[in-house]
Structure 1
């Protein structure tokens, strides 16, 4: 029998996948599984394990460490072809019969999962290969099979923003009106807390808060992050960003970072820094470095300086000959000093 791989599963997650595949001459194979401290093997016989199952696929789940367990292991498991997603849901697996693996019964499965003829006529066979999935749930006899659904708070808050139900504050940004919920904004931003429930009352006119020096699309992205805590997409191009390619995205990211800093949304600010770090290039490094210095983004500034540190003399000369660099070095001489120190250390 040919060894076909090993997978380690702990805390419900695949920790160590590794696989090799038997050659075309092999008629059977097995895959080793380690699930929550138990070692399992999948025995697969493409030509059947027993004489009566010849011409069929036989597959069995085998408990290897049955000699070391103090009591039988109760398991719900099911075999399926890799593309049969409709039967692979956790609820479907838990609905299968509970099987006991012990020293007396360490191997349970199907002697005839599917005939070779049916397999060849199905869509499961691709390039003379098929993949079988085994879903395993260790049945705890002391706890019922209760599946806790994943959190959907993000979706609910996003719906609250989209439907505008219960909104109680209005913003005017670059000629566009936005409505939101005071409690949500205040809970997410200390600046909004002070503005909406404190003594700031910035720009309040007829119960409408005027937001100056910000594009409407940036404020829209800001609200989306506040309600969902996820990265907002650049859905539209503001009038001030009508440029092509990478420059457009960099400009949007820079403005969003400034807005995040303005409203003390540190997670969004860090996300913008991460995105901008991926856009550092000879044409963009000066503006990104200036922004990093201005907004106290130490890691982004270091990324820009390191980028310049590894450039050739010709490339550096090209960057430093621009008007943007002249303005940046004059405004922030400390940045230029740090770069000089870096360049000196590599000599």
Structure 2
């Protein structure tokens, strides 16, 4: 990650960083896609007297070729955030096209050691124009904050980590601190980024069993390397991965359906609902007589209600002979034996057709 500076606020007034700030803040690394900025607030007892909706704006800083700033609302950024503290990252310049950014906000209880706590992550957002901002409207309840260890000597520090999606894919391996072994391939990644996007990675990398992930590569079983690589690409970019190609030639529809099925299963396994939804949408475009049974079984197994409905609607409009042919296959018999409710739902669909 790269240190993108700090903003200092005393009693609600933005100050220039003290001369010794370079000695206070550590952990600067050189990565092209992941930055963090600190908002240091002194004199909270005076800051909290600001009226509801009023904010403190940190200094403008540069990261990834853009200008940014942090905004902090001690009494919430709106009616829905009453009783909470709010924080957000804003784009401080006009842009020709949107900038997609992942954000994560944390308190730092020990600035010199960069110990993060009360981490709040959010999905990627498109920053469209100057003063466009996203963050955590309900970052923490004021009452809870004032009783916490985050507030010391009337001071506290908020850290904003952010990833600019357009640059992320190029720098995945730079500054990585965790390695995964998938089949015969290894993949480097960043713990904080994975944990911010996936509750499963959060539990595995920072939960009670994290010690087992600190030494050596983490083994990922029952997954193809190209699927894991595609999933990592989504985590860093928030974009639908492109299907891997073999020998530089485009894959056929059947290959794409197989790849999408595996990617959807991976998204469900690591609790990535946006990727799962993207796979559902793409798979719904490939429903035909050769794929409907496999896609329907996948949808039922991974609780993809929209995709399941699309498959049943497709079967509903088929002729009796065509439908009989589908149901006579061993693939259909296996699926219906595994999940008898599918047949009942299809019968209900056919009944509504009559």
Sort the TM-score into its range (normalised by shorter chain): 0.5 to 0.7
TM-score of the aligned structures, taking structure 1 as reference length: 0.54
RMSD: 2.3
Helix, strand or coil for the counterpart of 2:99? coil
1:160 pairs with 2:157: no
Please report how far the alpha carbon of residue 237 of structure 1 lies from its aligned counterpart in structure 2 after TM superposition.
Answer: 4.5
Give 5+ residue unaligned stretches, structure 1: 1-145
Please report how far the alpha carbon of residue 151 of structure 1 lies from its aligned counterpart in structure 2 after TM superposition.
Answer: 1.6
Equivalent residue for 1:278, pick from 285, 310, 313 = 285
Give 5+ residue unaligned stretches, structure 2: 1-92, 101-163
Q: Distance in 2 between matches of 1:327 and 1:155?
A: 43
Match of 1:300 in 2: 307
Match of 1:218 in 2: 227
Please report how far the alpha carbon of residue 342 of structure 1 lies from its aligned counterpart in structure 2 after TM superposition.
Answer: 1.1
Q: Distance in 2 between matches of 1:244 and 1:160?
A: 27
Moved more, 174-183 or 146-155: 146-155
Within a 5 Å distance, the mapping from 1:137-156 to structure 2 comes to 147-149=94-96, 150-151=98-99, 153-156=164-167
Helix, strand or coil for the counterpart of 1:232? coil
Q: Which structure dedicates a bigger proportion of its chain to strand?
A: 2
Instruction: Confirm or deny: 8 A CA contact 1:203 1:211 kept in the other structure.
Output: no
Equivalent residue for 1:191, pick from 196, 200, 206 = 200
1:207 pairs with 2:216: yes
Q: Distance in 2 between matches of 1:261 and 1:311?
A: 30
TM-score of the aligned structures, taking structure 2 as reference length: 0.53
Q: Distance in 1 between matches of 2:211 and 2:298?
A: 25
Q: Distance in 2 between matches of 1:262 and 1:292?
A: 14
Please report how far the alpha carbon of residue 309 of structure 1 lies from its aligned counterpart in structure 2 after TM superposition.
Answer: 0.4
Whose RCO is larger (CA < 8 A, sep 6+)? 2
Change beyond 3 A, Cα 1:251–1:233: same
Larger-gyration structure (1/2): 1
Change beyond 3 A, Cα 1:237–1:261: farther
Instruction: Tell me the matched-pair count.
Output: 197
Helix, strand or coil for the counterpart of 1:276? helix
Change beyond 3 A, Cα 1:148–1:345: closer
